[in-house]
Structure 1
Amino acid sequence: VGPHPSWPTTLLRGWTTDFKPTAVDNAPSARYVDEFLTISGHDAISAARDLAQKEGIFTGISGGALAAGALKVASQAPQGSCVLTVLLDTSIVHLRTPLVDDVPSEMSEEEAALVAHVK
């Protein structure tokens, strides 16, 4: 099952640009939603890669979109505000997405040296 072929798609697999889960409108917590943000596929991938490279958090493109959204909200929030986002992800499914297209499949010499003592 996928989006209708005439709908514009995004890098978030299976989602269309106008995707919004019905659970968002129907959930009891919907009254706590202040706004919806649009995050581009490029920004989502960039944020996911930053999380992996800088924080050691491996998440997918949708997790990157959540992180990018949280950073956008935080940049506009009053000083001292606290912004929370939760990335629910097993990550293994993302090994076949554009997220890792430019990641080498083999370790560099530096990476190999870091794990050489691990058995």
Structure 2
Amino acid sequence: MVCAQRGYKCVHASDTRVWVITMAESFSLERRKLMRYLGARVIVTPRAGKGTGMVVKAQELAKKHGWFLCHQFESSANYEFHYNTTGLEILSDFEDAQLDYFVLGYGTGGTFVGAGRRLREHRPEVKICLAEPAEAPLLASGQKSERRADGSATGSHAFFAPHPIQGWTPDFIAKIVEDGVEGSPGYDEYMAVPGSAAVNMSQMLAKTQGIFTGISGGASMHAAVELAKKAPEGSVLLVLLADTGERYFSTPLFANINESMNDEELVISRSTPNFQM
């Protein structure tokens, strides 16, 4: 949307103003379509290449065509944005109010580091709970990702396995995440979230709370619920649901949702005489 507003046209690669996204084919079809709807050129990389593959492809394309590369997994602009926006929003919302835990997962690490640092400075009593997929316990392993000179990972982490929580934990530890874990803000609590639990929680939130979040939102809420079970009574938890269910129609999140009417719906339809299918 920003590119569209600023006139960064998404045209042939020979044009100097181009917006190109690389995306592994394991990401939902809705993500590709949304980006293309906004005018981007989406270059799909093989599923087997995982997150590393789409990053390497972006690096190759930037070098080949002389394009600007965002480096969202390494750039300080990522977490500085959240330090100056998300972090301030949290402080404003909880001004003169109790807040005990900040619960979130990580992808690039921008929110974790940026908002986390702001909280450490102004609300040091707040504990940060960082969550990751149980299938891909990269942080829990204690093993770092190997890196190039620019901070990007050289390949897949040994403890990575595919998981359904899109937006969380690629197959490497982002440099922003690593720096945030080793330095500021760090984290106080850790939660491993099974992919199936994330899906179930997302579905439950929609049906019982009217919250239409995606799988990563379900993962964050699952982590918060598990944390709440052991937190002191009366604790206040802030949970980040940075996702929407509209990106997941083609994923397991909607696998049990029929396009056609089910038996109950057919009975309701036939309860009146007109316009039956």
TM range (shorter): 0.7 to 0.9
Q: Are the counterparts in 1 of residues 167 and 216 from structure 2 also a CA contact under 8 Å?
A: no
Identity of aligned residues (%): 33
Alignment of 1:1-119 (within 5 A): 1=24, 2-3=50-51, 7-13=160-166, 20-27=173-180, 30-31=184-185, 33-106=187-260, 108=265
Alpha-carbon offset, residue 83 of structure 1: 1.0
For structure 1, the residue ranges without an aligned partner over 5 or more in a row are 111-119
Q: Is the 8 A contact 2:216 2:243 kept in 1?
A: no
Q: Deviations over 1:59-96 (max 9, x none)?
A: 11111100000101111101111111021123321111
Any conservation in 2 of the 1:10–1:17 contact (CA below 8 Å)? no
1:87 is matched by which residue type in structure 2?
L
Change (3 A) 1:95 1:59: same
Larger Rg: 2
Paired AA for residue 11 in structure 1: P
The answer on whether the counterparts of 2:215 and 2:245 sit within 8 Å (CA) in structure 1 is no
Provide the rounded CA distance (Å) in 1 between the counterparts of 2:240 and 2:168: 20
TM-score, normalised to structure 1, is 0.73
Work out the CA distance in 2 between the residues paired with 1:18 and 1:78: 34
As a proportion of its length, which structure holds more helix? 1
Q: Name the TM-score, length of structure 2 as normaliser.
A: 0.34
- Taking a change above 3 Å as real, the CA distance of residues 32 and 16 of structure 1, as seen in their structure-2 partners, is closer
Q: What are the ranges of 5 or more consecutive residues in structure 2 without an aligned counterpart?
A: 1-23, 25-49, 52-155, 269-277
Amino acid at match of 1:83: L
Q: Is the 8 A contact 1:24 1:30 kept in 2?
A: no
User: Which one-letter code corresponds to 2:252 in the other structure?
Assistant: P
Give the alignment's Cα RMSD to 1 decimal. Answer: 3.0
Query: CA 1:43 to 1:80, structure 2 compared with 1: closer, same or farther past 3 Å?
Result: same
Q: How many residues align?
A: 109
2:230 and 2:172 mapped to 1: Cα distance?
24
Instruction: Call closer, same or farther: CA 1:98–1:90 in 2, change over 3 Å.
Output: same
Contact kept, 8 Å, 1:8 with 1:16, in 2: the verdict is no
